[in-house]
């Protein structure tokens, strides 16, 4: 029996805005096992970031709210924790890397101070020990001149270097789970490859579980054990990474994969699927992918298919693989 | 850094030179005749002419300007037409009261304004925010002569705790600095609120929270220093304005400061005093600008001094 690190179950996170309710995440279930790297893929706006911010409970400054579902970390519910207990977990047991390396570091403080902060807080090191640990982390993420970088400000570093600093910061307290929200998207291709290599190396050394959010299928192919494909706030397909590339089922996944994945193949720019993600306030009834699906049938417009595990650990949300007769009767 | 300061200080000279021309022209454009005022109401035209010659006001204006400037270079900025005392002494005795009044007003105003701003920004749309912003709007819209008179009525006349006016002890500072600072506190509060609210949406704030920092550390540690960057500029400007001496407040509180000296000297067409005072304001503004730039660089490491 594999040990479960993170269990997101039927998570619903809605945004309450002027134009109505945006169901950014609408019943998402994702499990990350110990030592496993799970990829979460999908076009921009499908709810990947909101899912990860929900896990960290970092939605307090947005109009977003977790309205239903549960999030368990090592078996204990995160949604029931007090804010104080949650702070003991953030940056300690669960760490996060963001998409925007250029703006994710505070421009007015030196790198060293920003790195030491979490180390002092969670590991309770004194100033001297924290500094040594911070330098070690910078060395670990392959930053040259680690000692000097400690005394530099973010604007003195390139995007790739800043992302290394963010990774060092995230890994500093030896987290059990790392949530990486498109960690390479903002970087150019050669730097992307270096950062991925670094993440692979760190994972192999530390056995950290990773939830890797990306819209780059090449990254998924290279890094992940399992993949969750999201569309419009829902999971539409889930399987191990081999099966997904060998035998994709959902028409959306098929469209995403299209050709052989390679690094830098960006779902964002993929034009093999015509149309756009539906506007969240105006979701079609039935299958949310129907307006763009070449296989769409009558039932697809009427009734939302469920996420069904078809055969061993391969789940798919599509009427093509489900008993339509039965569904129509209900 | 030191090099930068020296460079900026040298740069002040040509600016002041230019400013002095404008001031000189401006002062001489004020309608009215100082010679007539000095000579008195029943002086004859001849008497007035004699006085005019004594004061050097019969010379063509560019000669007058030249005399004024060469005087400055010799360390002599002339004497008051009204009192005959050196302008330097006239201004020096008035500068410190205005300076300290401004200083204490700014100190409390910035501290209180920042506190209100930060609390309002973090308790957005809660009662603390509404209360803070209600106070700020009142502070901005309440005319200072009215606030001053109100304070005098309550704390000086009725309760007798504080003096009605003048400058005798530290107690004399209390009411005028409350009056003078309330507008500044209000502006600082509103400015820091909106600045901090913007900053709190930034990505590095989210990073701070994701590290497990508490809200206190996120706001005061990571937010405030960034939010201060625009606030410092605004505060510096306010300081510069107030250093000129508030005419209204100095009048209400009979304060022996630069503001009242300015009205008196304008009323008497005391050209040398007006000129010197305006030149001093210009110099103060330039110096404050320099200080603001230095604080700016201290707050924002992306600024380089070269
Ligand atoms: N701060 C916010 N305010 C309002 N709506 C938001 C906010 N953040 C996200 N959303 C909504 O949630 C949806 C999903 O966003 P997100 O999770 O960021 O997508 P992505 O998969 O690209 O990471 C967006 O389409 C948007 O409508
Ligand atoms: S349910 Fe119908 S519309 Fe939706 S993906 Fe499957 S075939 Fe296409
Ligand atoms: Mg995103």
Q: How many CB pairs under 8 A join A and B?
A: 72
Decide if pLDDT at A329 tops 60: no
Instruction: Show residues of chain A in contact with B302, CB under 8 Å.
Output: 107, 153, 155
pLDDT tens-digit series, residues A213-234: 998 888 898 889 999 999 999 9
Q: What is the pTM (predicted TM-score) of this model? A: 0.84
* pLDDT at residue number A41: 93
Question: What is the mean pLDDT of the segment spanning B170-178?
Answer: 87
Decide if pLDDT at A21 tops 60: yes
Q: With b meaning 16 or more CB within 10 Å and e meaning fewer, what string describes A44-63?
A: ebbbbbbbbbbbbbbbeeee
Ligand 1, atom 6: closest residue by C-alpha: A15
Separation of alpha carbons B94 and B90, rounded Å: 7
Kindly report the average pLDDT of chain B as a whole number.
Answer: 86
Angle A248-A252-A255 from CA coordinates, rounded to 5°: 75
ipTM over 0.90: no
* pLDDT at residue number B48: 82
| Between residues B132 and A276, the one the model is more confident about | B132
Cβ–Cβ below 8 Å for A90 and B212:
yes
Instruction: Show residues of chain B in contact with A166, CB under 8 Å.
Output: 207
Decide if pLDDT at B194 tops 50: yes
* pLDDT at residue number B82: 79
Give the model's confidence band at A317: pLDDT under 50 very low, under 70 low, under 90 confident, else very high.
very high
* pLDDT at residue number A269: 46
Cβ–Cβ below 8 Å for B207 and A166:
yes
Decide if pLDDT at A271 tops 60: no
pLDDT tens-digit series, residues B110-120: 999 999 999 99
Q: Which of A58, A89, A105 sits opposite B204 (nearest CB)?
A: A105
* pLDDT at residue number A107: 94
Percentage of chain A exceeding pLDDT 90: 55
Percentage of chain B exceeding pLDDT 70: 99
Q: Where are any strands of DSSP class E within chain A? A: 4-17, 20-33, 37-41, 64-73, 76-77, 94-97, 177-181, 209-214, 226-231, 234-240, 308-311, 314-316
Cβ–Cβ below 8 Å for A106 and B226:
yes
Task: Report the atom number in ligand 2 closest to the C-alpha of A252.
Answer: 5
Cβ–Cβ below 8 Å for B226 and A169:
no
Nearest alpha carbon to residue B87 among B239, B292, B274: B274
Instruction: Show residues of chain B in contact with A105, CB under 8 Å.
Output: 204, 207
Separation of alpha carbons B183 and B192, rounded Å: 14
Cβ–Cβ below 8 Å for B211 and A91:
yes
Q: Which of B203, B213, B214 sits opposite A103 (nearest CB)?
A: B203
Decide if pLDDT at A180 tops 90: yes
Instruction: Show residues of chain B in contact with A104, CB under 8 Å.
Output: 203-204, 206-207
Kindly report the average pLDDT of chain A as a whole number.
Answer: 87
Question: What is the mean pLDDT of the segment spanning A302-306?
Answer: 87
* pLDDT at residue number B83: 83
Cβ–Cβ below 8 Å for A106 and B208:
yes
Distances in Å between the Cα of B298 and the Cα atoms of A81, A112, B221, B290 are: 40, 18, 15, 13
Best of A107, A113, A181 to mutate (most B CBs within 10 Å, chain B): A107
Query: To test the ligand 1 pocket, which listed residue (A43, A48, A50, A183) has its Cβ within 8 A of the most ligand atoms?
Result: A50
pLDDT tens-digit series, residues A140-173: 888 989 999 999 999 999 998 999 999 999 999 9
Task: Report the atom number in ligand 2 closest to the C-alpha of A288.
Answer: 4
pLDDT tens-digit series, residues B57-85: 778 888 888 888 888 778 777 878 778 88
* pLDDT at residue number A1: 56
Percentage of chain B exceeding pLDDT 90: 22
* pLDDT at residue number A270: 47
Give the model's confidence band at A266: pLDDT under 50 very low, under 70 low, under 90 confident, else very high.
low
| Between residues B38 and A144, the one the model is more confident about | A144
Separation of alpha carbons B13 and A213, rounded Å: 59
* pLDDT at residue number A277: 66
Separation of alpha carbons A164 and A139, rounded Å: 10
């Amino acid at each position: 029996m594999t040990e479960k690190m993170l269990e997101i179950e039927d998570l619903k996170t809605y945004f309450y805005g002027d134009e109505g309710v945006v169901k950014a995440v609408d019943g998402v279930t994702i499990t990350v096992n110990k030592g496993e790297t799970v990829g979460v893929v999908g076009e921009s706006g499908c709810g990947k970031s909101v899912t990860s911010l929900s896990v960290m409970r970092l939605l307090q400054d947005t109009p977003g709210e977790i309205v239903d579902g549960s999030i368990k970390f090592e078996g204990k519910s995160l949604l029931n924790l007090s804010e104080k207990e949650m702070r003991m977990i953030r940056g300690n047991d669960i760490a996060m890397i963001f998409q925007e390396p250029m703006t994710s570091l505070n421009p007015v403080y030196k790198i060293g101070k920003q790195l030491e902060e979490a180390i002092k807080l969670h590991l309770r090191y004194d100033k001297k020990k924290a500094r040594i640990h911070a330098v070690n982390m910078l060395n670990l993420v392959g930053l040259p001149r680690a000692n000097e970088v400690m005394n530099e400000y973010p604007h003195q570093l390139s995007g790739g270097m800043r992302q290394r600093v963010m990774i060092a910061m995230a890994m500093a307290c030896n987290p059990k789970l790392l949530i990486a929200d498109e960690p390479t998207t903002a970087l150019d291709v050669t730097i992307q490859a270096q950062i991925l290599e670094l993440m692979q190396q760190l994972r192999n050394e530390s056995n950290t579980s990773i939830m890797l959010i990306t819209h780059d299928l090449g990254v998924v192919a290279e890094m992940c054990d399992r993949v969750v494909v999201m569309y419009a706030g829902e999971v539409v397909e889930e399987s191990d990474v081999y099966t997904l590339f060998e035998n994709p089922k959902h028409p959306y996944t098929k469209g995403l994969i299209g050709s052989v994945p390679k690094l830098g193949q960006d779902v964002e720019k993929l034009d093999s699927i015509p149309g756009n993600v539906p506007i969240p306030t105006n979701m079609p009834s039935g299958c949310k992918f129907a307006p763009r699906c070449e296989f769409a049938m009558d039932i697809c417009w009427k009734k939302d298919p469920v996420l069904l595990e078809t055969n061993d650990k391969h789940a798919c949300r599509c009427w093509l693989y489900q008993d339509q007769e039965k569904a129509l009767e209900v | 850094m030191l090099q930068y300061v020296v460079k900026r200080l040298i740069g002040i000279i040509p600016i002041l030179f230019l400013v002095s021309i404008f001031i000189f022209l401006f002062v001489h454009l004020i309608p009215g005749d100082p010679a007539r005022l000095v000579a008195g109401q029943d002086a004859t035209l001849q008497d007035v002419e004699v006085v005019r010659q004594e004061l050097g006001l019969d010379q063509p204006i560019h000669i007058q300007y030249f005399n004024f400037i060469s005087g400055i270079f010799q360390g002599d900025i002339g004497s008051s037409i009204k009192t005959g005392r050196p302008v330097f002494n006239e201004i020096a005795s008035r500068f410190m009261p205005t300076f300290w009044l401004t200083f204490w007003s700014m100190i409390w105003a910035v501290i209180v304004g920042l506190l209100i701003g930060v609390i309002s920004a973090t308790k957005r749309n809660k009662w603390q925010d509404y209360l803070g912003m209600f106070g700020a709007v009142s502070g901005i819209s309440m005319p200072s002569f009215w606030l001053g008179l109100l304070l005098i009525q309550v704390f000086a006349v009725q309760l007798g705790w504080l003096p009605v006016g003048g400058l005798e002890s530290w107690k004399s500072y209390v009411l005028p600095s409350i009056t003078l600072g309330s507008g500044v506190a209000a502006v600082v509060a509103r400015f820091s609120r909106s600045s901090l609210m913007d900053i709190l949406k930034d990505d590095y704030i989210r990073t701070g929270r994701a590290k497990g920092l508490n809200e206190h550390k996120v706001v005061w540690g990571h937010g405030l220093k960034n939010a201060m960057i625009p606030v410092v500029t605004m505060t510096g400007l306010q300081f510069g304005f107030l250093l000129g001496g508030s005419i209204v407040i100095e009048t209400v509180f009979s304060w022996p400061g630069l503001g009242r000296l300015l009205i008196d000297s304008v009323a008497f067409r005391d050209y040398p005093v007006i000129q010197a005072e305006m030149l001093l304001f210009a110099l103060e503004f330039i110096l404050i600008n320099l200080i603001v730039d230095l604080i700016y660089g201290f707050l924002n490491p992306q600024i380089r001094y070269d």
